[in-house]
Amino acid sequence: MTQSLQQGPNVGRLWPSESTTFSDVDSATSVRQLTNYRAHSHHFYFTNTGWHANDTRLLIASDRGNATNLYSIDLTTGELLQVTDLAPLALPREVEFLRACVSRTVEEVYFWYGLDLVALDLTSLETRILYQMAEGWDVSMINCSADGQFVYASLSEDLSSQFRVDYLRGYVGFAETWAAKPLSRVLRVATDGSGSDVLYEEKYWIGHVNTSPTAGDVLTFCHEGPWAKVDQRIWGLDTTTGRAWKIRAPQRGEAVGHEYWYADGERVGYHGRNPDGTQFLGHCRYDDTDHVENSFPGQTGHIHSNGPELIVGDGGKQVRLWKWTGEAYDGPRLLCRHDSSMKIQQLHVHPRFSADSSHVVFTSDVTGYGNVYLAQVPDFDALPNIDE
């Protein structure tokens, strides 16, 4: 019998709506602030959707009551449903949900709690422990297969006994971990609790496991570390054979990263920087064919899109858009300001489009606390240009 996770009494607690809507001062874009509490709240990392219940609800994390937990926001009423009540844990096992992922086939979300990989039923709010990690390992991103049968995770040796590690606050130990080349693995865990296996391992820091949203046997992972120093950032992995291959190998002096899947599950988007400091937006098929890249002015920050037509980024203090003209990217145009300090990972803006590209979710601490926002996407040509 699968073991459940011990939780506190606040699972299922309803919090009243904190939602307000305003017009951005510079672009007039309609922006809805979903949270307003004297603690940090944030949505998931930009590669992992938090929308569920047919996109009528959004999962976020919030630090209420001096503990970090998951909440599901009803996007119609604004009401928050608390879906976890977990005791805080010390580094390197602190509770965080940036890396949580939602199933594409059932109402479940998956996350790490200490050494446990946990499945949470978003209807019953019951939990199941799918996998228990051995001591001596650390975790990175997790992601669900397109068919919902597996959760994939990247694990690496826990080096926090050798040097200080706090990646979420100032990337402490980031360069040291890369230089140490820890043994790393790509792990596959069955969502029905039937077992797990290691698909791939090597002596290089692996992170950011991202599964194709349509192909059940393909994922990407990255060689983590300073972009300009890693040997090869983006890798593909065949989950049936365990074969790994390079995607968008950088030329000398280039830096490439922030890779993510297009909604078609066939193409991988990314951005990069040339040796002379100019930047480019790009995508290619996951088999490393059909490369399309274009240079553009300005900063990107993190980027996301559902396809090549419209890209969102968080460079500088603005949420910005680029539109594909058929030959190049027009923009950036100002969707709205975010003005986030981005002091810690939970306060990074991490913009992401909704499935229909009608809204962009992002996080900002412009109020003094991290809050979650939804910006409505208007006609691109109506938005003001950003002059860099």
- Name the token pair of 119: 């499945």
Of the CA atoms within 13 Å of residue 248, those in its CB half-sphere come to 31
- Residue with token string 């291959």: 245
CA distances from 259 to 17, 281, 291 (A): 34, 11, 14
Which H helix or E strand runs over 211? strand 206-211
Q: Check residue 252 and give its pLDDT.
A: 85
Maximum C-alpha span of the chain: 60
Q: How many CA atoms lie within 13 A of 304 on its CB side?
A: 20
Residue 342 neighbours by CB under 8 Å, 6+ apart = 348, 349
How does pLDDT run along the chain (388 residues), one tens digit per residue? 478 999 999 999 999 999 999 999 999 999 999 999 999 999 999 999 999 999 999 999 999 999 999 999 999 999 999 999 999 999 889 999 999 999 999 999 999 999 999 999 999 999 999 999 999 999 999 999 999 999 999 999 999 999 999 999 989 999 999 999 999 999 999 999 999 999 999 999 999 999 999 999 999 999 999 988 999 999 999 999 999 999 999 988 899 999 999 999 999 999 999 888 889 999 999 999 999 999 887 789 999 999 999 999 999 999 999 999 998 899 999 999 999 999 999 999 999 999 999 999 999 999 999 999 999 999 999 999 998 6
- 296 three-class SS: strand
How far is Cα 25 from Cα 193, in angstroms, rounded to an integer?
50
Instruction: Give Cα 216 distance to the centre of its chain.
Output: 19
Residue with tokens 């926002």: 373
pTM exceeds cut of 0.85: yes
The pLDDT value given to residue 364: 98
Q: Is the distance from CB of 276 to CB of 242 less than 8 angstroms?
A: no
Q: How far apart are CA 289 and CA 311, in angstroms?
A: 21
Tell me the C-alpha distance between 302 and 271, whole Å. 9
Do 373 and 362 touch, CB atoms closer than 8 A?
yes
Closest residue by Cα to residue 268 from 338, 329, 215, 320: 215
Interior CA angle at 269 toward 268 and 270, to 5°? Answer: 125
- Contacts for 23 with CB less than 8 Å, ≥ 6 apart: 29, 30, 31
Residue 1's pLDDT is: 44
Please report, for the chain, the start and end positions of each structural domain, with discontinuous segments joined by +: 89-247
**With contact defined as beta carbons under 8 Å apart, do 363 and 347 qualify?**
yes
**Angle CA 302–306–309, to nearest 5:** 95
Are 293 and 331 in contact, with CB atoms under 8 Å apart? no
Of 22, 47, 87, 18, nearest to 348 by C-alpha is: 47
Contacts of 387 (CB under 8 A, 6+ apart): none
Our measurement of the distance from residue 145's CA atom to the centroid of its chain's CA atoms, rounded to an integer in Å, reads 15
244 SS3 class: strand
pLDDT value at residue 162: 94
Phi/psi at 374 (nearest 5 deg)? Answer: -125, 120
Topology annotation, domain 89-247: Methylamine Dehydrogenase; Chain H (2.130.10)
Q: Which residues of 351-383 are buried (b: 16+ CB within 10 A; e: fewer)?
A: bbbbeeeebbbbbbbeeebbbbbbbebbeeeeb
